[in-house]
Structure 1
């Protein structure tokens, strides 16, 4: 039996999957690590905690099997996080994560300095989560640490570096730094020169399925693997999530509802221009791209509702009977702006609303409205893709939104597209394993690997009457942001 390992380096834990040639997950293991919030808006981790957790998870994963049966390993990782390395290859400070919001000042500096080049070259707006603003923040506020730094890596790339001794970064993760020429697939000299960063500061670029070395003896011993195990670059978590869901051709879109929510659509043309309204990144598939919209509080909105109004009940109990409530929740509308919003409104001050509450509404109406509001927010991204000429025909739904048949049918109706769930949803970890399988030569293409590894389960088709109802409600939903923006700005002082 031959295996590959997919590593998914998340924000709270690392998860390792052992996958055989049929795409069956033979074993899985995980390790958690702490988050540090020294100040409001700050979010950091110790980079070596990722390494230790990864090696421990792999060791558990492969205990009891022949180490030589593991042919390859690859990685998926949380995007944007900054690891600054000194001359010896050691971190000069804790890693600053994607959900750290201290860099607003640096984002404005980037916009002012780059002007139109920001979107034409990096294809994305300057947001606090991205990597370049973090680099500029450290240079401005921690000059001693910055002066020690000679290069930088993203989280999964640091783990891989510690396992192989080789510095690399794949295109899908590099696209989230604001330093990559996304279409040209090279570090942008215009961006680097604008901020006085030498080319040597950036690691060599490689394809996600690219072979980057073998395991160092010490790492192999700790992981319980052979030093001959091949290591492949891997990709950003969203890119790997797309691969693990089979989003590898035109017409396929991913809907992922976790704490946040993502709409991700495959792109094979670098000339697509969404004018920064949605993210545009390199895919983990070679010479492909994806457009992505984000809802900050997707599953979090439902978790908040349960915690606040049904803390002792399960989600199944909370949602019991939600399918009997007609589309529109009896005229009740929810906007899921609990922590601000990302797409299409990059607004940290906006907050959530229930609109249309009356005395006939019961808790189940509110629960349905929350589910619909989350899906309406995701549909803003679908709507923008379609408005730009993009075809959105089939949507693969994963995450919490794929666990409830009522929600899956709701998605089909609101998106007006066929929605499918997966038999064995493993997300980014499976995508990483697929990159290793492809890199090892098990398949001639990622598409061929997907045919074996990714299996659809249930399919939901749009219901014409519900589609029409939701189309009208969506028009009302889209007005709520503008109508409540000023009110929420006025309330900031009272939070």
Structure 2
């Protein structure tokens, strides 16, 4: 019996999934820790995690997987990695981490990126990088250069979170073109390193790791890592991708016009196109997709809402640590529109769909004689949906056809209220599949190692669980509620616009 092992390095937890090569089905999975990993917040708007913690949880998840499902390390044919995007890990020549990772929802570099956008020229950045440098990895590295010069001087290589885990597995310092694009280190027009941005920031390209293919044998498990994990030395690591390109891959979203979504810690909608198009205000972003080639480039257009699962988790603690299933049942007890209660879910760092404005979550329309827990929970779930739809409207205006969306049967898509609001507010069809990020990484490893000859062969075990369609009556109610939510958002943003003018 042969297996494929996938690791998902999230900001809340680490997950490991084991797939049977022959059936393509997940036979075992493990998630650690049992309580969500926290983020360090040294200052308001900052967010950090220790990469060493990710590695320890990789060890813990692997041991948990082995304890729960008896397999031998030598039965693992290949390993794949997916990871939280946009994080910055710095290592010295000995491979030691120099400081905590500055992760995806950290806002400290926003103004540096905005200034680069202005100085390099908005048209130049959008034509070449398809993005504003914004709050992405390159801008975070510039922040370290300006504010922590003693640390910057020790940097041997920078890494994304998945690159760091791959380094711990193989001893190789590497990244991918898709990874470079997520940090705005990539010039789409030239199909090369974004040298113009590096020169502007005063950053040497020598700090970037070696580039390897997304689907390829990128390295092999070292004897030390193998002993630590209870796996076999020499096992190939043959796939790595950021969480959103990988989520799309895990759902077999590989071609122009196909769209994937996820609603975990952050909420994301990700659609594939084959054109070098960009939103004029960089509210949605483009990255190199996992199956892009020089001959036939494919990009993923991504809208992200930071305050998604983290809002649901906050609500869960607020109402007494109810299981998520009971939280979803509570939401269903309130009517569509939550009896006039509205939630703006922008409380987890600068939101790109709001042009990186400083923002906070807010609850509006509270009536003490009307509203209870159920209304607050429903308003929060609907607010997340409306914010996602706001981002999808931007994607639609950029030429991405968002009509049929695929997602894994997980996280907030487990909520009937969330699903109902998602399809009716957006007037779209939602398909849920029996997969997750770690399974996607395992399938990718199978392709990269040659275990599977093609994506079609790799997705033999992928099954459609349910399809949800909009209905006329509910569509009318949700779109009316969405219109009210947009009016509220416009009112809340108007003062910020005046201040920026």
TM-score strictly above 0.5: yes
Are the aligned partners of 2:8 and 2:82 in contact in 1 as well (CA < 8 Å)?
yes
Please report how far the alpha carbon of residue 234 of structure 1 lies from its aligned counterpart in structure 2 after TM superposition: 0.6
Shift of 1:377: 0.9
Deviation by residue 1:160-184 (Cα, 9 ceiling, x = unmatched): 1222122211222222212112454
Give the distance between the partners of 2:269 and 2:461, measured in 1 at CA. 22
Q: Deviations over 1:185-208 (max 9, x none)?
A: 421122222223223221122221
**Alignment of structure 1 residues 90-169 onto 2, 5 Å:** 90-116=96-122, 117-128=124-135, 130-169=136-175
Gaps of 5+ in 1: 491-495
Distance change in 2, residues 1:485/1:437 (3 Å): same
Say yes or no: does 1:432 pair with 2:441.
Answer: yes
Change (3 A) 1:307 1:215: closer
Task: Report the equivalent of 1:44.
Answer: 48
Equivalent runs, 1:45-444 vs 2, <5 Å: 45-62=49-66, 64-116=70-122, 117-128=124-135, 130-267=136-273, 269-275=274-280, 276-287=282-293, 288-308=298-318, 310-311=319-320, 313-320=322-329, 322-323=331-332, 326-339=335-348, 342-345=351-354, 346-355=356-365, 357=367, 359-361=369-371, 363-398=373-408, 399-422=410-433, 424-425=434-435, 427-444=436-453
1:11 maps onto 2:11 in alignment: yes
How far is the alpha carbon of 1:460 from its aligned partner? 0.9
CA separation in 1, counterparts of 2:266 and 2:6? Answer: 23
TM-score, scaled to structure 2:
0.87
**SS in structure 2 at match of 1:172:** helix
Change in 2 beyond 3 A, CA 1:321/1:113? closer
| Equivalent-residue separation in structure 2 for 1:57 and 1:458 (angstroms) | 29
Give the distance between the partners of 2:192 and 2:110, measured in 1 at CA. Answer: 26
CA contact (8 A) 2:105 2:348 kept: no
Aligned residue for 1:133, secondary structure, equals helix
Q: Which residue of 1 aligns with 2:2?
A: 2
Cα distance in 1, alignment partners of residues 350 and 202 from structure 2: 32
Shift of 1:248: 2.2
List runs of 5+ in structure 2 lacking aligned partners: none
Q: Which moved more, 1:211-220 or 1:104-113?
A: 104-113
- Contact 1:295 / 1:341 at 8 angstroms: preserved in 2? no
- SS, match of residue 210 in structure 1: strand
Deviation at 1:361, TM superposition (A): 4.9
Deviation at 1:256, TM superposition (A): 1.6
Q: Deviations over 1:339-398 (max 9, x none)?
A: 466252132235423248585555544433332222111111221222233222211234
Comparing 410-419 with 477-486, greater Cα deviation is found at 477-486
TM-score by length of 1: 0.88
SS at match of 1:384: helix
- 3-state SS of paired residue (1:234): strand
Instruction: Go from structure 1 to structure 2 and tell me whether the alpha carbon gap of 1:222 and 1:321 turns closer, same or farther (over 3 Å shift).
Output: closer
Which residue does 2:481 correspond to in 1? 473
What is the Cα-based RMSD across aligned positions, in Å? Answer: 2.8
Deviation for aligned residue 1:289: 1.8
Structure 2 CA distance, aligned partners of 1:68 and 1:313? 41
The superposition leaves residues 211-238 of structure 1 with CA deviations (integer Å, 9 ceiling, x where unpaired) of 1121222222222222231112410011
Output the CA distance in 2 between the equivalents of 1:333 and 1:263. Answer: 22
Contact preservation (8 Å) 2:423, 2:468: yes
Q: Is the 8 A contact 1:80 1:131 kept in 2?
A: yes
Q: Helix, strand or coil for the counterpart of 1:347?
A: coil
Query: Per-residue displacement from partner, 1:383-435 (whole Å, max 9, x unpaired)?
Result: 1222233222211234432212233222211121111222x34x221111111
Work out the CA distance in 2 between the residues paired with 1:476 and 1:79: 33
Superposition misfits of 4+ residues, deviation over 6 angstroms: 487-490
Q: Could you give the per-residue CA deviations for residues 47-99 of structure 1, whole angstroms, max 9, x where no partner exists? A: 33333432443344346423322110111111122222323333333322223
